[in-house]
Amino acid sequence: MTTTTPDLTGDPARHRKERRVKMVMLAAGVLTIVVSIAIVLSLLSEAISFLTQIDLGQLWAKGWFPRRGRFDLRTIIVHTLLVTAVAMVVAVPLGMGAATYLSEYAPRTVRRVLKPLLEVLAGIPSVVLGFFALTWITPNVMRRIWEDTELFNMGAAGIAVGILIVPLIASVAEDAMRAVPDALREASYGLGARRRHTTLRVVLPAAISGITAGFILGASRAVGETMIVAIAAGASGGSLLTFKITEGGQTMTGAMASLAIGSDQIAGVGAAFQSLFFVGLLLFVFTLILNVASERVIRRFRERY
């Protein structure tokens, strides 16, 4: 009886090819990291250069008027938070309603039609939403509620940003709810629960971490949204601090946009222009914190079923 040693050698050409593919992937990964680091570093150096040119008291001045050397951070931060808050007030109920309907109520056929429709909503360019805010939301929503609403106002911008982030919140929440195993729904129905009990007391609590993470991501997207606030929130020249959403106001992104496109007549010159990078860095830190927070929420309250 003879035993032959099995031949387990692979094809060397195939080996080389796999190695090449791996190298390309690695290069792409490294390049991404290098570019990211370069962006952060250039932001940092410009921001530091900005800080060295100004008196730090200017960051606490009356209003955000870069041309006049007033860089009040409270103004643009408060306005950013106002727009984001309005956006969340609009987007959370709409997004949760859509997610709950799609995940728990819609028959399969309806879901098959509605889900792609939500993606279409996500694909609306924000410039379109910005004009929609200015030409429709301001007269038909804002001025219906507050007659003296300014033409450019943070409320309309916030509502439009809210519409923009509805698909994000809805799709993250829907994914979280559909990830809840049917065994839990069966347990609930088996105990004589109606659908609304099952949804409110079993599915939503079980999906809460994913849903919360979606809210944070939505807020992060709202903080970073630029085009809508640049068009509809107004105050391209700068603004005073206000807490009224019926008035125009400069947000962090709005301030950057008007600096960058030179509507402030200061493109490329001096501290005013470099403030662009400082605000950019601030925005970067803001959204980074929010994104890390959403990661944390997901990891800390990871659903165990």
Partner 1 sequence: MNRIDAQPTSGASDTDRPLVFDVQGLNVFYGDFHAVRDVELPVRQNEITALIGPSGCGKSTVLRSLNRMNDLIPDARVEGQVAYHGVDLYGPEVDPVQVRRHIGMVFQKPNPFPKSIYDNVAFGPKIAGVRSGLDDVVEDSLKRAALWDEVKGKLSESAYALSGGQQQRLCIARAIATRPDVILMDEPASALDPIATLRIEELMFELKEDYTIVVVTHNMQQAARVSDRTAFFTVEVGEDGTRTGVLVEFGDTSTMFTNPSRKETEDYITGRFG
Region binding partner 1 by CB under 8 A among candidate stretches 95-103, 148-156, 191-199, 235-243: 191-199
Nearer to partner 1, 74 or 196 (CB): 196
Task: State the Cα–Cα distance between residues 63 and 241, nearest whole angstrom.
Answer: 6
Q: Which stretch binds partner 1 (CB under 8 A): 31-39, 177-185, 234-242, 269-277?
A: 177-185
Task: By CB under 8 A, tell whether 302 contacts partner 1.
Answer: no
Do residues 218 and 297 touch, judged by C-beta distance below 8 A?
Answer: no
Residue 203 CB, nearest approach to partner 1 (Å): 10
Report the residue from 28, 192, 265, 300 that binds partner 1 according to the rule CB under 8 A.
192
Task: Determine which residue in the list 114, 193, 241, 281 makes contact with partner 1, applying CB under 8 A.
Answer: 193
Binding of partner 1 at residue 188 (CB under 8 A)? yes
Confirm or reject binding of residue 183 to partner 1 (CB under 8 A).
Answer: yes
In the bound state with partner 1, the residue whose beta carbon lies nearer, of 175 and 303, is 303
What is the smallest separation between the CB atom of 206 and partner 1, expressed in angstroms? 5
Residue 189 lies near partner 1 (rule: CB under 8 A): yes
Q: Which residue's CB is nearer to partner 1, number 115 or number 244?
A: 115
Is 187 a binding residue for partner 1 by CB under 8 A? The answer is: yes
- Site size toward partner 1 (CB under 8 A) is 23
State yes or no: residue 186 binds partner 1 (CB under 8 A). Answer: yes
**Binding status of residue 289 toward partner 1 by CB under 8 A:** no
What part of residues 227-286 is at the interface with partner 1 (CB under 8 A)?
none
* Long-range CB contacts (within 8 A, 24+) of 84-87: 84/158, 84/161, 84/219, 84/222, 84/223, 85/158, 86/154, 86/155, 86/157, 86/158, 86/159, 86/161, 86/162, 86/245, 87/158, 87/159, 87/161, 87/162, 87/164, 87/165, 87/218, 87/219, 87/222, 87/225
Binding part of the chain for partner 1, among 146-154, 198-206, 229-237, 243-251 by CB under 8 A, reads 198-206
- Could you give the string, one character per residue 102-141, with x where binding to partner 1 holds by CB under 8 A and - elsewhere? -----xx---------------------------------
> What sign does the CA torsion over 77, 79, 82, 83 have?
negative
User: Could you list the residues that contact partner 1 (CB under 8 A)?
Assistant: 107-108, 181, 183-194, 197, 201-202, 205-206, 303-305
